[in-house]
């Protein structure tokens, strides 16, 4: 368990920003980013000043986005990019919207999971109900009026530990939450700020346009 914690925290330090991979830990004083700053892992983290190539910078931006959304595989991420290009509008905004609409991400954004990886586990283990039916596909793309509910088993076991139980927790505008029922409803499709979590969407577009 200790090794897993350290590994995920190292990923945030590598990317130089919070990726929210460890749920409550990321919001506490234990977060290494808050304690030490965005210092790269390793004994020479502070001394790494070597200039990166354009390709390396683009690759870093892509890796950061993949990790931010729960550690997506390259094939998955590339498929989202290809789909975004075929949609009307800006490719970058389309890509972020598709990523935000993943069921595991919606579960996390609704406060029904501690992290995106936790949300993915809940969905995979059929502990999330979509429109009152179990669904174990984390990549499912949520639609307007979809209703997401946490299973009774998880509510009884760890409901009080989830972000939705925090009186100060607020979901994004595209999701309405019911804190009493541990449920959420999709009001509209997400319109995502391209600056979300420091992700440079233009660099990602450049990477795949080589």
Q: Output the domain CATH number for residue 35.
A: 1.10.1050.10
User: In this structure, is residue 6 part of a structural domain?
Assistant: yes
**CA 186/CA 174 separation, integer angstroms:** 6
Which tokens hold the place of 106? 């919606």
**Geometric angle at alpha carbon 112, from 149 and 15, rounded to 5°:** 140
Domain range for 148 is 102-186
Count of domains observed in the chain: 2
Residues in the chain: 210
**CA 105/CA 96 separation, integer angstroms:** 11
10-residue averages of pLDDT along the chain (210 residues): 50 57 56 58 56 92 92 96 96 94 97 94 97 97 98 93 92 96 96 73 94
**171: domain CATH number?**
3.10.290.10
Q: What local confidence, expressed as pLDDT, does residue 4 receive?
A: 44
User: In this structure, is residue 56 part of a structural domain?
Assistant: no
User: In this structure, is residue 17 part of a structural domain?
Assistant: yes
Do residues 106 and 39 both lie within one domain? no
CA distance readout (Å), 197 to 4, 145, 160, 205: 22, 27, 27, 17
Q: What local confidence, expressed as pLDDT, does residue 2 receive?
A: 39
Q: What local confidence, expressed as pLDDT, does residue 13 receive?
A: 56
User: In this structure, is residue 82 part of a structural domain?
Assistant: no
**CA 177/CA 183 separation, integer angstroms:** 6
**CA 29/CA 35 separation, integer angstroms:** 7
User: In this structure, is residue 26 part of a structural domain?
Assistant: yes
b/e sequence 106-120, b meaning 16+ C-beta within 10 Å: bbbbbbbbbbbbbbb
Asked if residues 19 and 197 have their Cβ atoms less than 8 Å apart, the reply is yes
Asked if residues 195 and 184 have their Cβ atoms less than 8 Å apart, the reply is no
User: In this structure, is residue 194 part of a structural domain?
Assistant: no
Q: What local confidence, expressed as pLDDT, does residue 58 receive?
A: 96
**CA 90/CA 97 separation, integer angstroms:** 11
pTM for the predicted model, two decimal places: 0.80
User: In this structure, is residue 92 part of a structural domain?
Assistant: no
User: In this structure, is residue 94 part of a structural domain?
Assistant: no
**CA 22/CA 44 separation, integer angstroms:** 25
Q: What local confidence, expressed as pLDDT, does residue 205 receive?
A: 96
Asked if residues 180 and 160 have their Cβ atoms less than 8 Å apart, the reply is no
């Amino acid at each position: 368990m200790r090794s897993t914690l350290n590994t995920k925290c190292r990923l945030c330090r590598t990317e130089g920003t919070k990726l929210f991979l460890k749920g409550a830990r990321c919001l506490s004083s234990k977060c290494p980013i808050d304690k030490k700053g965005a210092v790269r892992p390793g004994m020479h983290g502070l001394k790494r000043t070597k200039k990166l190539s354009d390709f390396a910078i683009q690759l870093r931006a892509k890796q950061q986005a993949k990790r931010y959304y729960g550690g997506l595989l390259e094939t998955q991420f590339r498929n989202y990019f290809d789909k975004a290009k075929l949609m009307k509008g800006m490719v970058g905004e389309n890509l972020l919207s598709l990523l935000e609409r993943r069921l595991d991400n919606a579960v996390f954004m609704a406060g029904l999971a501690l992290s995106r990886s936790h949300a993915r586990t809940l969905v995979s283990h059929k502990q999330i109900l979509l429109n009152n039916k179990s669904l174990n596909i984390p990549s499912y793309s949520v639609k307007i009026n979809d209703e997401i509910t946490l299973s009774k088993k998880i509510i009884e076991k760890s409901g009080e530990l989830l972000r939705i139980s925090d009186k100060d927790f607020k979901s994004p505008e595209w999701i309405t939450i019911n804190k009493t029922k541990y449920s959420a409803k999709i009001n509209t499709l997400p319109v995502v700020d391209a600056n979300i979590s420091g992700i440079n969407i233009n660099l990602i577009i450049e990477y795949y346009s080589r």
